[in-house]
Every structure is written in C-alpha cells, then in structure tokens.
Amino acid sequence: MKIAYLINQYPKISHSFIRREIASLEAAGIPVERYSIRPQMDLIDRADRVEIDKTKAVLGIGMLRSILCVLQVALKAPGKFVQALGLTLKTSWGADRSVLHHLAYLMEACVLLLWFEKQKITHVHVHFGTNSTTVAMLCRVLGGPAYSFTVHGPEEFDRGKNISLEPKINNAAFVVAISSFGKSQLFRHCHRQHWSKIHVVHCGVDEEFLNQPPTNIPATPRLVCVGRLCEQKGQLLLVEAAKLLAATGTEFKLILVGDGELRAEIETVIAENNLQNCIEITGWADTNKVRQEILASRVMVLPSFAEGLPVVLMESLALGRPAISTYVAGIPELIEEGVSGWLIPAGSVEAVAKAMKTALEMPVQQLEQMGIAGSQKVLQQHNSATEAAKLAGLFRMQHQGAKTGELTATESELVPTSAL
C-alpha cells in the first residue's frame, strides 16, 4: 500500500492540520507521497518549508510538458481518455468554472496518472472536495488509483452542485467528514446507498498543543482571534463588538492573528472608531507564534458566520484557553456552552460583546477550570495520532478490499453513461 496526498496548494499557512495528519500517518508506518496542484511560496512556518522539498507540484512542470503528458495518456488508453473527457464536459455544465478550467483539470489528471504509475501509488487521498478532487476523480477514470477525500466545508456544502459533489462521492472509495454536522451535509449531496462510505475523522492537533504543562491564564485583559481575515470568520463583526465593549469603559486588548483580503477594510474600521489602542493585527504567524499568542490571552474569540470545524479552536482548548464562538456547523460538537466556552448566535454584535465582557470579568480560576474541560475534550476527540489511526484503518480496509476485488468499482460505475 502506497498513499499519495493531493491538495490544491500544499504546504500552506492555513493547512497545518494536513501536515500533522501526514506526519501522524507516517509515524504509524504508512508512507505518504505529497502532491500539490499549485506550488506554494513565501511560507512562514519552518515545518511547512521542510514540506516544500517533499511536495511535487503539477503546475510546476510547465504547459509543454503537460500537453505531452496528455498525448501520452490519450495514445496509451484512448477509450479511457474519451470516458474521462466525457466526464470532464459533463461536470463543466452548470459549474461556476468554465469548460477551459475543467479541461485543465483533465490535463492535470494526465500528469498525475503518469506520476502515480511511476511511484506505484495505490490510493490517493485529497483534502477539500473542490478542484483537486475533480482531478483525482478524472485520474481514476483514466485508469489511476482509487481515491478518497476529506470534506471540510462550508464551501463544498454551499457549492455542492457547482463542484459536482455527488459524482465525486459516488466514485470515491470512501469520503471523510470532519464532524457529524459535515457528515449530515454530505448525506444531502448523495443517494443513501452511498451513506455507508462516509466516515467522520476529526482534524487534530499534535504534541505542540497536547499534553503540554499547564500555563496559568493571565490576569491581563487580553483576547485573541486567530484566522484568515475574511468575511466568514467574522472579524469585522468582532471589531464592532469591540467598539461596544470599549464604550462601556472596559479595558481590553484584542489581538487578531492572521491576514487576508479584508485586512485593509478591518484596519479602516479600527481607525474610524479610534480602536487602535484596543486592537492589534499581527499578520500571519507560524505555529510557535500562534501558541504564544493563545497562551498570552484569556480566551479565544472566533465569531464565524460559516465554518467546517476550526482547528484554532482545538488549539486554544488544548492549551487550556476557553473559546467564544458561534452555533455554526461542527463548532457545538467541540465547545460546550458554560463548560469549555461560550456559544453565541452568529451575526450578533451584542452577543459577542457580552461574551467578551463576561470572559474578561470572570475569575481566572474559573476560566482555568473551563480550559481544563476543553483540553480533555480535545485530547479525546482531536488527537492527530488517534484520528490518523482511523484514517489509516480506512486506507488498509480499502487496500484489502481492492486486493480481493470487493471494493473495486467497475468502469460503468466510475463513469455514468449520462456523462458521455
């Protein structure tokens, strides 16, 4: 059994959970080859920079070599190539990306097919059910290895039809959801005959966050929010909540760790409301810096509008810091109201401000009890080694089934006749 991981862009600042998953699989004795559609540059985390040398990028070989790969695959197996072309055109209808984009996916699948054959890859696992899973599906139709994929949300759930989520589930050996909520959403996008192939494997954190010596929660009124600065994470709403909190005379410091497309707008709102002394934006940070910022704060605040299940909440709880977040997606499966943090209605500025004020005024000892409860839950449900063992079991089961022929789909199953 030889596993390949395929991600649209890897390594990446926001994909530390994938790096941890791969490391845990390799520690369990399963070698993993890394493949990325796009190359990645300008990485901050040293561990990510190490991963660059282990990762092969499809678009790094240039257009001419990619075209030659297409010709080689088409001449070698013209029937399968026609089937894959038919599925490419089928999935492009009604999609939010053009036919040319989908033809590019077919080209990428041809490149990967040849690489997988050379490396004797027996199974491909993909993170995110978007274009990289399209490439894995087309590669399978071309005669490549079986594939599985992890769906995170919310993008996949919001765009299920546009990204052809149903045929991707149908043709996969198995599918992974990162929460029970995610599993339920996948049920919406496939026939119930495929429900049995959908499994929950949580994202996890490793020893950098687990089993660390307890660190006292500081008495200083400091809060932290870690995440890409974008609409769905709710930082603009968080600034509005900070404005309400400041108006009550409450002393606090809010640290926004991250960067993104909304940074300039967030900075403008901060300046317009004279909150420069209350809110600081650090930009992107490596894992060690994230740990330091969490430990220097009383609580994590993440008022997301749309999510899968944020890894930063796991990291915060693992370090003994309660969290404030929303009743969105898988978050209530992690944070217990009044036990390890606070759950608030998404979109409510007043609720965010109230929860922040409560956390700032709560005795440190009580916050530490909440942090202990949260760390225990993360240890039980989000240990990267434990979760990777579940995934390894699925890989072994699929491999054994492929050897016996029990799990191998026929060509008619792989490519519905309606696709041609």
DSSP calls for 308-359: S--HHHHHHHHTT--EEEES-TTGGGTPPBTTTEEEE-TT-HHHHHHHHHHH
Mention every residue, 6+ apart, whose C-beta is less than 8 A from residue 307.
Answer: 153, 154, 232, 326, 328, 329, 330, 331
**pLDDT per position as a tens digit, 329-349:** 999 999 999 999 999 999 999
Q: What is the pLDDT of residue 405?
A: 66
**359 pLDDT higher than 70:** yes
Domain check: are 242 and 193 in the same one? Answer: no
How large is the angle between the packed helices 63-76 and 99-119, nearest 10 degrees?
70
Q: Cα separation of 123 and 110, whole Å?
A: 16
User: Residue 358 pLDDT more than 80?
Assistant: yes
- Is residue 376 domain-resident? yes
Q: 162 with 263, same domain?
A: no
| pLDDT score recorded for residue 411 | 36
What integer pLDDT is reported at residue 39 of this predicted model? 85
Rounded to the nearest angstrom, the gap between the alpha carbon of residue 179 and the centroid of all alpha carbons in its chain is 12
Tokens 């699929």, located at residue: 398
- Let me know if residue 211 belongs to a domain: no
On whether both 302 and 199 belong to a single domain, the answer is no
47, pLDDT greater than 70: yes
Quote the percentage of the chain above a pLDDT of 90: 90
CA 2 to chain centre: 23
Q: Find out whether 185 and 308 touch, Cβ atoms under 8 Å.
A: no
The count of other CB atoms within 10 Å of the CB of residue 97 is 16
- What are the tens digits of pLDDT across the range 60-108? 999 999 999 999 999 999 999 999 999 999 999 989 899 999 999 999 9
Buried b (16+ CB within 10 A) or exposed e, 287-322: bebbbebbbbbbbbbbbbebbbbbbbbbbbbbbbbb
Helix/strand/coil for 47: helix
Q: How many domains does the chain have?
A: 2
pLDDT tens track for 154-177:
999 999 999 999 999 999 999 999
**DSSP structural state of residue 176:** E
Q: Average pLDDT of 188-192?
A: 96
Q: In this structure, are residues 24 and 388 in contact, taking their beta carbons and an 8 Å threshold?
A: yes
Residue 392 domain boundaries: 3-204+383-419
Query: For 254-269, what is the mean pLDDT?
Result: 97
Q: Which residues pair with 302 in a beta bridge?
A: 325
pTM: 0.93
Tell me: do 396 and 371 sit in the same domain.
no
Q: Does 162 share its domain with 231?
A: no
Query: What does the pLDDT average to over 188-202?
Result: 97
The CATH number assigned to the domain holding 345 equals 3.40.50.2000
pLDDT for 406: 60
Average pLDDT value for the chain? 94
Kindly state whether residue 14 falls inside one of the protein's structural domains: yes
Residue 216 placed within a domain: no
Is cis: bond before 363, omega within 30 of 0? no
Q: Residue 404: its pLDDT value, please?
A: 74
Q: Which residue pairs from 396-405 have beta carbons closer than 8 angstroms and sit at least 24 positions apart in sequence? A: 396/1, 398/123, 398/146, 398/148, 398/173, 398/174, 399/1, 399/122, 399/123, 402/122, 402/146, 402/173
Chain segment 101-151, per-residue pLDDT in tens: 999 999 999 999 999 999 999 999 999 999 999 999 999 999 999 999 999
The answer to whether 305 touches 225, Cβ cutoff 8 Å, is no
